Amino acid sequence: MMAEALQRENPSGFEGSVAGLPLTDVIQLKGQNRFSGCIAVEYRERQGMIFFRDGDIIHAEQGKLMGEMALYEIIRWPGGRFNIQPKVTTTSRTIQQSISFLLLEAHRLMDEEQAAVRADEGTRREEAAAPAAVQNRMSAVAERIVRIAGVSYAVLMKKDGTPLEDDSFEAEVLSAKGMSLAGIGSRLGELFGLDEVKSAAVHARGKQILLFEAKNHYVSIAVRGDSSLAHVENEIRSTFAGRK
């Protein structure tokens, strides 16, 4: 029925550009004129039909969509062509709401869609900028370490636990964990009569921490729970040994 209506010649109708004359204006005008018939709309390869009876929209079709959802889909098209078909009618009644309600709802849905697109674009920009922001506030040592697969964060800190060149919350938390691990390592070293512990590691469910002693500093490293702690440790040692 849709294709036939679009192809049927209608001497009393007219064709217009949806981009030049908003389809919503035509819909309002037909409502005021108590129009009965159909507005057939084409946009690229898509076709839609909006049926009126005595100025009320009673039915709409667009592809597999029917009723209000079909109408909203047609209205949201950014352009196209429409053709007024006063002799094309339907017995279907899938829409009960007034034209004012339908147009307001269509605009509300379009506003929500545009807001969601803007929010998604903003999120992507923030995510794209995040790695650079993290690297800018990290020390050079930490920057090299976080490039290693399996490492989620790293912080270079003084022996008293103060993070260097990184004032982020992540650095503060990781420094505190590193200092706790350093304290445990020192106590174990004393218990077993060992020299000062140069490195330590702890593995828990979903969390792993590596700690390295480097001259007057510590390096505390967060490793993803699904990564091999031994592999990450070897990669770190290789990186700073100059072999990679």
Query: How far apart (Å, rounded) are the C-alpha atoms in residues 58 and 128?
Result: 47
Is 2 in contact with 40 (CB distance < 8 Å)?
yes
Domains of the chain: 2-115 (no CATH), 138-241 (3.30.450.30)
For residue 199, which of 162, 188, 167, 244 has the smallest C-alpha distance? 188
Answer whether residue 97 shows pLDDT above 50.
Answer: yes
| Mean pLDDT across 69-78 | 92
Q: Is 242 exposed, middle or buried (0-12, 13-18, 19+ CB in 10 A)?
A: exposed
Taking a C-beta distance cutoff of 8 angstroms, is the pair 49, 40 a contact?
yes
| Higher pLDDT, residue 92 or 11 | 92
Other residues' Cβ atoms within 10 Å of the Cβ of residue 237: 13
Which pLDDT score is estimated for 196? 62
For the chain, what is the total number of helices (H) and then of strands (E)?
7, 10
Q: What is the pLDDT of residue 195?
A: 60
pLDDT confidence of residue 209: 85
Q: What is the mean pLDDT of residues 90-96?
A: 94
Please compute the mean of the pLDDT values over residues 59-76 and round it to a whole number: 94
Most confident of 11-20, 103-112, 175-184: 103-112
Banded pLDDT at 4 (limits 50, 70, 90): very low
Share the mean pLDDT of the chain.
79
User: 102 in the Ramachandran plot: left (φ > 0), alpha (ψ -120 to 50) or beta?
Assistant: alpha
pTM above 0.85, yes or no: no
